[in-house]
């Protein structure tokens, strides 16, 4: 009975008779659709992260055969039934499939089938009833999670090497089951001081300290600050210690304090670009604030803006900032620059060339 039905439906898409394989039959019931997308999954683990939830315990799948053929439309317009033919020769499918049915571009139904097989000869019918499209989260590029409500654990389709689909690969993601917006360096701050071949702050991943932010060697060796563990504490100490060499930049000042909104332009050496700069550390005591931006592609210049707090307090002799930049190779840890900023008496518009040589600290 079922085989005959499959054959009739398969005829519509030109596949029957000698076409051995699996027929995935999507049954919409009251749900009509004009497009169905198939997510064939291979299980890659149990833990994943979504846009809104970290450390979800469920079933994580990597998508198989992600090409355009995975989305099909009913032949004669919107329908609640569709058959998808998987030829017998197809390798690697059959563990799990999730389907998303949509109408006019809006998802309306979702369904699944697990543990089915693509037979080497003959047919198999796989029934996939749809339920309302609900409890589904999509994010990034083609990542999807479904918090199934019928007593089964949540599932997700995510890349094997990026369990939260945030673009940070698991090899250097401090927490690969907790989503962080791309470029949001504050989401997963480096936590460990790695003292291996390079001095860097990073994360412990599988027992190894994996560098994420390269810092000058004195960060690891300056005896005055060895007891400070976090990046912020260590640099707060280094900023007031001798031996933490850095160039000095000057900013126009009135009555000894930089004027609100004044900027310091930092031209990088070696034709390097200030791409996606992030303030890893700044001496912000007394309400002073700093922001950093890229002066523009091709300029090779970072711009630090200084903001006065609501109740101005003395800026002091100088203040220090540590800025990280996108690495030239995206897989590498982030290089940094460490500088001092000093008020320049005279006026808000006074300028003076920096003193000392700026170096970019890359990891070795
Ligand atoms: Ca990740």
Average confidence (pLDDT) per 10 residues, the chain, 364 residues: 40 56 96 96 96 96 77 93 90 88 98 92 95 96 92 95 92 89 78 92 88 95 94 94 94 94 97 96 94 97 94 91 94 94 94 96 93
pLDDT value at position 159? 95
The single-letter DSSP state of residue 334 is B
Distance (angstroms) between ligand 1 centre and the Cα of 141 equals 13
Judge whether 78 and 103 are in contact, CB under 8 Å.
Answer: yes
pLDDT digits (tens, 9 = 90+) for 11-50: 444 444 458 999 999 999 999 999 999 999 999 999 999 9
Domains and CATH numbers, the chain: 2-157 (no CATH), 192-232 (no CATH), 237-344 (2.60.40.60)
Distance (angstroms) between ligand 1 centre and the Cα of 259 equals 41
Tokens 């976090």 correspond to what residue? 230
d(CA 277, CA 303): 9
pLDDT value at position 4? 37
pLDDT digits (tens, 9 = 90+) for 246-300: 999 999 999 899 999 999 999 999 999 999 999 999 999 999 999 999 999 999 9
Tokens 């409500």 correspond to what residue? 149
pLDDT value at position 214? 97
Distance (angstroms) between ligand 1 centre and the Cα of 173 equals 5
d(CA 168, CA 170): 6
Tokens 């450390």 correspond to what residue? 55
First vs last Cα of the chain: how many Å apart? 68
Distance (angstroms) between ligand 1 centre and the Cα of 148 equals 23
Distance (angstroms) between ligand 1 centre and the Cα of 177 equals 7
3-state DSSP call for residue 248?
A: strand
3-state DSSP call for residue 163?
A: coil
Distance (angstroms) between ligand 1 centre and the Cα of 176 equals 4
Continuous segment of H or E residues that includes residue 232: helix 231-238
d(CA 56, CA 28): 29
- pTM recorded for the entire structure: 0.71
Distance (angstroms) between ligand 1 centre and the Cα of 339 equals 31
Distance (angstroms) between ligand 1 centre and the Cα of 105 equals 29
Instruction: Please report, rounded to a whole number, the percentage of residues in the chain having pLDDT higher than 90.
Output: 73
pLDDT value at position 355? 97
Nearest to 33 by CA among 99, 98, 129, 101: 101
Distance (angstroms) between ligand 1 centre and the Cα of 185 equals 13
Distance (angstroms) between ligand 1 centre and the Cα of 227 equals 31
Distance (angstroms) between ligand 1 centre and the Cα of 53 equals 13
Distance (angstroms) between ligand 1 centre and the Cα of 181 equals 10
Distance (angstroms) between ligand 1 centre and the Cα of 26 equals 33
pLDDT value at position 93? 81
pLDDT value at position 14? 46
pLDDT value at position 173? 86
Nearest to 109 by CA among 29, 43, 164, 224: 29
Distance (angstroms) between ligand 1 centre and the Cα of 48 equals 9
Distance (angstroms) between ligand 1 centre and the Cα of 218 equals 31
Return the C-alpha torsion angle 91, 92, 95, 101, nearest 10.
-80
Distance (angstroms) between ligand 1 centre and the Cα of 184 equals 12
pLDDT value at position 2? 37
Distance (angstroms) between ligand 1 centre and the Cα of 335 equals 20
Distance (angstroms) between ligand 1 centre and the Cα of 188 equals 11
Distance (angstroms) between ligand 1 centre and the Cα of 103 equals 32
Distance (angstroms) between ligand 1 centre and the Cα of 303 equals 29
Distance (angstroms) between ligand 1 centre and the Cα of 140 equals 11
């Amino acid at each position: 009975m079922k085989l005959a039905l499959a054959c009739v439906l398969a005829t519509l898409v030109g596949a029957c008779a000698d076409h051995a394989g699996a027929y995935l039959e999507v049954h919409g019931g009251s749900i009509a659709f004009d497009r169905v997308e198939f997510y064939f999954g291979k299980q890659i683990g149990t833990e994943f992260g979504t846009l809104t939830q970290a450390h979800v315990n469920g079933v994580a799948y990597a998508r198989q055969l992600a090409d355009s053929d995975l989305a099909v439309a009913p032949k004669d317009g919107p329908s609640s039934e569709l058959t998808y033919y998987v030829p017998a020769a197809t390798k690697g499918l059959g563990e799990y499939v999730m389907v998303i049915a949509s109408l006019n571009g809006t998802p309306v139904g979702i369904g699944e089938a697990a543990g089915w097989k693509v037979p080497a000869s003959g047919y198999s019918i796989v029934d996939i009833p749809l339920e309302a499209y609900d409890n589904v989260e999509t994010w990034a590029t083609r990542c999807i999670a479904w918090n199934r409500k019928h007593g089964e654990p949540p599932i997700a389709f995510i890349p094997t090497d990026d369990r939260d689909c945030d673009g940070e690969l698991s090899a250097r993601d401090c927490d690969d089951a907790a989503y962080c917006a791309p470029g949001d360096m504050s989401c997963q701050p480096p936590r460990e001081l790695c003292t291996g071949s390079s001095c860097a702050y990073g994360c412990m991943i599988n027992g190894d300290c994996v560098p994420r932010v390269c810092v000058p060697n004195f960060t690891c060796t300056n005896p005055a600050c060895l007891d400070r563990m976090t990046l912020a504490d260590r640099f707060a100490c280094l900023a007031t210690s001798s031996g933490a060499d850095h160039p000095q930049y000057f900013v126009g000042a009135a009555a000894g304090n930089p004027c609100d909104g004044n900027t310091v332009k930092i031209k990088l050496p070696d034709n390097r670009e200030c791409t996606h700069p992030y303030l890893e550390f700044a001496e912000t005591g007394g309400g002073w604030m700093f922001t950093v931006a890229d002066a523009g592609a091709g300029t090779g210049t970072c711009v630090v803006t200084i903001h006065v707090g609501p109740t101005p307090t003395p800026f002091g002799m100088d203040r220090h900032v540590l800025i990280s930049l996108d690495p030239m190779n995206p897989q590498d840890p982030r290089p940094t620059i460490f500088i001092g900023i000093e008020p320049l008496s005279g006026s808000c518009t006074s300028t003076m060339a920096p003193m000392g040589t700026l170096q970019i600290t890359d990891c070795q």
